[in-house]
Amino acid sequence: MTKRCRLGVLVSGNGSNLQAILDACGAKDFPAQVQLVISNKAEAFALERARKKGVAASVVSHRDFPSRESFEDRLIAALEDAKVDLVILAGFMRVLSPRFVRHFAGRILNVHPALLPSFPGTHAIEQAWNYGVRVTGVTVHVVDEGTDTGPIILQEPVVLDAKETLESLEEKIHSVEHRLFPEAIRLFAEGRLKFEGRRAHIGEHA
């Protein structure tokens, strides 16, 4: 295999999407590896998930810095020191500044629990549930300077059945996230993504 794409993963909580990515990276044919996991919260269980896989994990708390700029400077330095090729937002509950996004332009991926552009921002599953949609889903997209506005890489619908509850819908959404996010990372790592404006084209191996 050629050199693996080096991932830097930013997390804030439980880290179930991180776990899915770590598990995918365990396959011999997967073209990426998690190089570093950073959480802004020391109590995040995601850190334990990383350490169990032997992945470097550290805490960079936003509360320890006088400004968002100085906090993000520390994140950028840590990611650059780890020589990451791609930044992954796996439940990172901080809004990144345009300055941070520009630093890693085109190299930040996020998973969103709705079919963008519907229900952007936080609590998307609950928003969709309260709205009474029949179909929602999952989107993996490139992060740009807006809120969930970057080019879409992959989407998959999730149909609500007649007996759906908010809890069962959350389980369905997370199950799709855990499959779709690693697949988008694979596409990036294999050099198969080409962008024309907002459109992402998926091609053969680079």
| pLDDT of the residue at 206 | 59
Per-residue pLDDT for the chain (206 aa), expressed as one digit of tens each? 468 999 999 999 999 999 999 999 999 999 999 999 999 999 999 999 999 999 999 999 999 999 999 999 999 999 999 999 999 999 999 999 999 999 999 999 999 999 999 999 999 999 999 999 999 999 999 999 999 999 999 999 999 999 999 999 999 999 999 999 999 999 999 999 999 989 999 998 75
- Compute the distance between CA of residue 157 and CA of residue 203 in angstroms, rounded to an integer: 22
Q: Which of 156, 155, 153, 165 is nearest to 195 (CA)?
A: 153
Helix, strand or coil, per DSSP, at residue 4: coil
Q: What pTM was computed for the model?
A: 0.95
Task: Locate 19 and state its tokens.
Answer: 């776990």
H or E, element range at 53: none
| pLDDT of the residue at 3 | 87
Structural domains in the chain plus CATH codes: 5-202 (3.40.50.170)
- Compute the distance between CA of residue 202 and CA of residue 165 in angstroms, rounded to an integer: 35
Task: Locate 23 and state its tokens.
Answer: 């598990």
Residue 112 annotated to the active site: yes
CA dihedral sign, ordered 9, 120, 181, 173: positive
Question: Which one of the listed residues 112, 123, 141, 201 is annotated catalytic?
Answer: 112
- Compute the distance between CA of residue 86 and CA of residue 78 in angstroms, rounded to an integer: 13
List C-alpha distances in Å: 2 to 31, 133, 198: 8, 44, 29
